[in-house]
Each structure stands twice: as structure tokens, then as C-alpha cells.
Amino acid sequence: MVDATTETIGVHGTNVVDLDSTRNSITALDHAVDIINNERSRLGSVQNKLQFTMSNLTSQTQSIEAAVPAPKILAQSAAMLAQASALPQNILLLLR
């Protein structure tokens, strides 16, 4: 990340007292705008990469969360079937 202070981008102390200083100031300001635009472009690229990664991770998380309940449901179904199978036997035991 660029340290974008007036000193580091070369516009500190610019003045427009005469024609030469005005030209020098405009040149310095043009250069400063280029520095800032390049940094904005770089940061925009990084932001896009981070957003893509976040979207990808969110999609993966949703896929994993969707896959996890299936084995759990199967285990619960097996337990319910075992209990249902045992129910008639329990009723017979009560009737004895």
C-alpha cells in the first residue's frame, strides 16, 4: 500500500505564484493522480480476488452443510426403524 501523503506523492509545497511554478505544480499533481489511480486499481483487484474467494468459500460451506445432514438422517431413520421393530415385541411382553 502506498503512503499517500502530500510529501510522498510529491505535491507538498506546490504553489502557483508564477508560470514556471504553476507548470511544475501541475506536473506534480498529474503524477500524484497517476500514483493514486494505480493504487486504487491495485486495491480494486485485491478486493475482487477477496470477494471471489469469499463467494467460493461460502459456496463450499453450503455444499458441506447440505451433505452433512444426509448421513445423520439415515442414522436417525435406522434408529426409528429399530424402535418400530421392537414395539410389537414390547407389546407382547406387556401382555404376558
Q: Write down the pTM of the prediction.
A: 0.56
Residue 10's identity, in one-letter code, is G
Residue 20 has pLDDT above 70, yes or no: yes
Are the CB atoms for 25 and 15 separated by under 8 Å?
yes
Of 9-13, 51-55, 76-80, highest mean pLDDT: 51-55
Q: Return d(Cα 69, Cα 87) in angstroms, integer.
A: 27
pLDDT (tens digit per residue) in 63-89? 887 877 777 778 888 888 888 887 777
Assigned domain for 27 exists: yes
Assigned domain for 34 exists: yes
The number of distinct structural domains making up the chain is: 1
Q: Which domain holds residue 56?
A: 19-68
Assigned domain for 45 exists: yes
Assigned domain for 32 exists: yes
Assigned domain for 73 exists: no
Assigned domain for 39 exists: yes
Q: For residue 14, give the C-alpha cell.
A: 506546490
